[in-house]
Amino acid sequence: MAGSRTAAASASPAPPRGRAQRRKAARRAASRGRRALWREIPAIAAVALVIALVLKTFFVQVFVIPSGSMEQTIRIGDRVLVDKLTPWFGAQPQRGDVVVFKDPGGWLAGENQTDTDGPLTRGVKQAFSFVGLLPASGEQDLIKRVIGVGGDTVACCDSQGRVTVNGKPLDEPYLAPGNPPSRIPFQVTVPAGRIWVMGDHRDLSADSRYHMSDPGQGTVPLSDVVGRAFLIGWPFDHFRWLSRPDTAASLRAPPAGPAESPAPRPDPLEPSLVMGMLGVSPAAVRRLRGAARGQARR
C-alpha cells in the first residue's frame, strides 16, 4: 500500500505556479540572456575587426576625396570604393579607368593639411582608418583617370584641341564643364609597366602633365597603383558606378615594341629545319639497322 501511494504521489502533476513565480522565472531568464550577450560582444567585435581588416587589405577600401581634380565625376567629400582584389589576379589598369595610386614622388609636396581635430574626433578617425573606412592621415594617395598605358603615345593637342592616343582623337565626355582637354601641349610615349594619368577637372589637376621633368616623364608605375575606383558610395545623392567609358575601348592598341615582341619559336616548316631533319633521319635509320644486325650476329 505504501509503495502504491508513493507511485501515485510521484505521478501526480506539480501544482501550478503563481503569477509572481512566473515573473520571477522570466526575469532570471532575461538576466541570463543579457549576461550571455555581454560575454559574446567581445568575440563578435573581434570577428568584425578581422573581417574589416581582410576586406581592406585584399578586397575593397574606402577613400575620401579631398580635392576637386576629378570634378564633376567625383566631388570633394565623396567616398569612393576601390577594388583591390583584381590586381592580385594580374588585372592591370585600362584606358578610361579611375585609379587610386600612391604618390610617385613629389606630387603632393606642400599639400599637407593641418590637423584641427580634437582628441575624440582624431581617435575615431584613426580607428576608422585602421579598419579601412577612412584613409590614414599619413597616406599619400591620389586619384586620376588613366589616359595611356604602356606603349601608348599620348599627345595634345590636335587641330581641334583634343588629346590623341596613338594618333586617334580621344572623346572625353567626363571633362568638367568649361575645361579644355589641356592647356599644356605635350607628347609622351608611356614606358612599359607605367600609366599616364589626368584629372577630369583639367584646370585644377596637377597630373602627369605637370611632372614630365620627373623620372618617368610624369608616368606612374603600376606598382604604385592601389586599385580601381568603381563606385561612389556616399553621399547617397552622388551614388553612381564609375564605369569605363566606351570611347576608351575604341582606341588603337599600342604598337608592340622590341621588348614586347614574343620570343621567336622554330617554325616546323622552315626550309633549313626541314632539310636538317631530312639529313638526320636517314643517318639515324642506318645506325639503328647496323645495331640490329650486330645483335643478330651475336
Residue with cell 592591370: 92
Q: How far apart, in Å, are the Cα atoms of 34 and each of 20, 22, 25, 26?
A: 21, 18, 14, 12
Q: Which is catalytic among the residues 84, 144, 182, 205?
A: 144
Instruction: Find the catalytic residue in 10, 12, 56, 69.
Output: 69
Q: Which three cell numbers stand for residue 100?
A: 587610386
Grid cell locating 98 = 579611375
Longest alpha-carbon distance in the chain: 119
Determine the Cα angle at 120 with ends 116 and 124, to 5°: 95
Q: Is 69 a catalytic residue?
A: yes
Written as one string, the DSSP assignment of 146-170 is EEE-TT-EEEE--TTS--EETTEEP
Residue 282: beta bridge partners?
A: none
Q: How many residues does the chain have?
A: 298
Cα–Cα dist 158/185, whole Å: 10
CB 173 within 8 A of CB 247: yes
Active-site annotation holds for 144:
yes
The phi, psi pair for 179, rounded to 5°, reads -95, 130
Q: Which residues are catalytic?
A: 69, 144
